[in-house]
Structure 1
Amino acid sequence: HDPLAVGLAVDASLAQWQPARIAVGDSGQTRRAAGAPNCRVAKVVDAERFLALFFDRLCPPSS
């Protein structure tokens, strides 16, 4: 349901990453938390490159 998440899983170089600590509250909300990082957060995404990759896979050029 999230093509960008799949794209980043396939090619992590599509984004600039920052280590962060994320916590999930009892109601399911995510938030930043103090402490040592437990994940990486995509801060900047190369949207043009991602869209080119996405549409190339979705609608490959005909041969």
Structure 2
Amino acid sequence: MSRLDTLHQITRISEDNCKGCKQRAEIIREHGHIHFYVDRHCTKVCPIGAELKRLGTQLEGGRKG
């Protein structure tokens, strides 16, 4: 998969799942937009977040420089 395809996939998954996530909205309501709390839930608990993290790791692996 190309880097651009991966970016499109990340965007699609995020828009389809994360924007309407009730758990994410609840965390933001409780803690504000403190990235730590949202990130902890999304990468450790949520399977969608785990997939996004995996795709992000693919992007990092393809970096040059």
Please give the TM-score of this superposition, normalised by the length of structure 2: 0.27
Higher strand share: 1
Higher helix share: 2
Q: Which has the larger radius of gyration?
A: 1
